Structure 1
Amino acid sequence: MIQLTQDVLLVLIHDASTSATAQVMTQFAAQDHINLSPPSPCRSRELSSAPKEEEQRQEEEHLDKFYAKIDWYDLSDTAYCKVFRTTLSKRALVWFNQLPAGTIFNLEQLTQRFLHHFSMNKRVPKTVAFLFSMCQKENEPLRDYMQRFVKAVHEVPHVNHELLASIIQQNLLPGRFKESIVGKPSSIMEDLLMRSQKYIRIEESNASDPSPGIKRKGREEEKEPKKKEEHKHVPPTGFTYYTLLNASRGEILIVVEQQGLINQ
């Protein structure tokens, strides 16, 4: 936040004429006798009233506030540059102090250098294509996926809610929640989040307390391999190999009867 009062400005103007500020003045090539008018009120109003896009750089907002403050004063360009320095902190102040001496000639050049330097470090917003890549992973709980998806939505500016519903439907694994969306589509993201809570509770309930039928089925499946294993160890009954006959069955039967081998 910029905290700039009239007393601070007066002190800065006074210090600009003393030797105590000589070291700061080496950062600028502009001479004290070069007087440039501060940004016009129209320019300040234009900067301040411009629509604030979500991706607007924080540095631009900083300059908007700075110009709004200095509109009330008629100072030299050197004084404005000195005042601008008092609004910086941390990385921005380090950057300012590292500017080569004699490379800044006016406030406009300083602010352009400021924007150019920090815009290179600006994080690029994600696009809708990023959301299409947020698919539910195999064995990922519905609760974890919905939390991950909502977090991703916050990183993508200006997303249509109807499109979000379609993306969720496409990215979900087959299941009851996906079937619910297909059967009853919704164009409101909040509605989908509310409906997802029902299926999250069902999923978590099934995971923590499976039904008796499922338990019984599991026990039967555990016993089934043992039964098969027991059958494998049962010895075979009867003969595996037989001697081939060298006469017909009729001839053999006649011989057996003649020899009295068959009990009447």
Structure 2
Amino acid sequence: MVPKDFKAPDMPPYDGTFDPSHHLSNFRSQMYLTDASDATHCKAFPTTLTKTAIKWFDSLSPRSITKFVDLAKKFLARFSIQRDKAKHALSLLGIKQGDQESLRNYMERFNKACLDIQNLPTEAVIVGLINGLREGPFSQSISKKHLASLNEVQEQAEKYINMEENSRLGETSKTSSSYPSRDKDKEPRKKEDQPTEKPSKYHNYTPFGFPS
């Protein structure tokens, strides 16, 4: 019997389209906090399934499950095709910095990829990072140094990230400040083009113009 005060796990339902081990781990973690019995585990688990997954559960033969570990094994076996494929250090060599991609964005993508790889050697991280860098000041600088730790790499990257972002801010500031001056130059032209009642003292004018 399920206890009256039992609260079903609050978690996204599993529909059979992603890694079943993640869903099972999430379920076990939440059930652990409730100190529920093995029978309660078996009865609560189907409430976390939907679509293809719940259809699979409903198709199980009656009394074919005697304990939750059996249900867990059948669940993992049925949806094993959806398990995440293990990634290796060599996959880092496929990460490249785009032609217009900022150094900050590249570092964030690279760091995220590293999190998906277990037992990743430091040397592999450094080699992969340098290999994927676009040709530029940072790639030239870091390739000449023999960095042995990820902290050193991160410190060097932060310096060039700040330089890159400060440079872009400077360019944006110059571009925005150039517009008001052009507008001010245009105003005299409009006034001069307008006819005036008073005769002008000068008869020849040099037209204003912007460099092409």
TM-score grouping bracket, smaller chain normalisation? 0.5 to 0.7
Q: Once the 2 structures are TM-superposed, how far is the Cα of residue 81 of structure 1 from its aligned partner?
A: 5.8
Q: 2: CA distance between counterparts of 1:176 and 1:83?
A: 57
Q: Once the 2 structures are TM-superposed, how far is the Cα of residue 199 of structure 1 from its aligned partner?
A: 0.7
8 Å Cα contact 2:20-2:80 kept in structure 1: no
TM-score (ref. length: structure 2):
0.56
User: Does 2:49 match 1:91?
Assistant: yes
TM-score (ref. length: structure 1):
0.46
Bigger radius of gyration: 1
User: Does 2:97 match 1:139?
Assistant: no
* Equivalent residue letter for 1:174: E
8 Å Cα contact 1:162-1:186 kept in structure 2: no
Q: 1: CA distance between counterparts of 2:3 and 2:79?
A: 26
Which of residues 186, 195, 201 in structure 1 aligns to 2:162? 201
Cα pair distance change 1:139/1:96, threshold 3 Å: closer
Paired position in structure 2 for 1:186: 147
Q: 1: CA distance between counterparts of 2:27 and 2:94?
A: 35
* Equivalent residue letter for 1:57: S
SS in 2 for 1:168: helix
Percent identity, aligned pairs only?
19
How do 1:1-264 residues align onto structure 2 when only pairs under 5 Å count?
Answer: 8=3, 57-58=21-22, 59=24, 84-91=42-49, 94=54, 97-102=57-62, 104=64, 106-107=66-67, 109-209=70-170
Report the RMSD for the aligned CA atoms in angstroms.
Answer: 4.0
Q: Which runs of 5+ in 2 are unaligned?
A: 5-18, 175-209
Q: Once the 2 structures are TM-superposed, how far is the Cα of residue 171 of structure 1 from its aligned partner?
A: 1.2
Aligned pairs, how many? 155
Cα pair distance change 1:182/1:136, threshold 3 Å: same
Q: 2: CA distance between counterparts of 1:141 and 1:105?
A: 54
Cα pair distance change 1:89/1:131, threshold 3 Å: farther
* Equivalent residue letter for 2:125: L
Q: Once the 2 structures are TM-superposed, how far is the Cα of residue 162 of structure 1 from its aligned partner?
A: 1.6
Q: 1: CA distance between counterparts of 2:91 and 2:132?
A: 12
Q: 2: CA distance between counterparts of 1:176 and 1:106?
A: 64
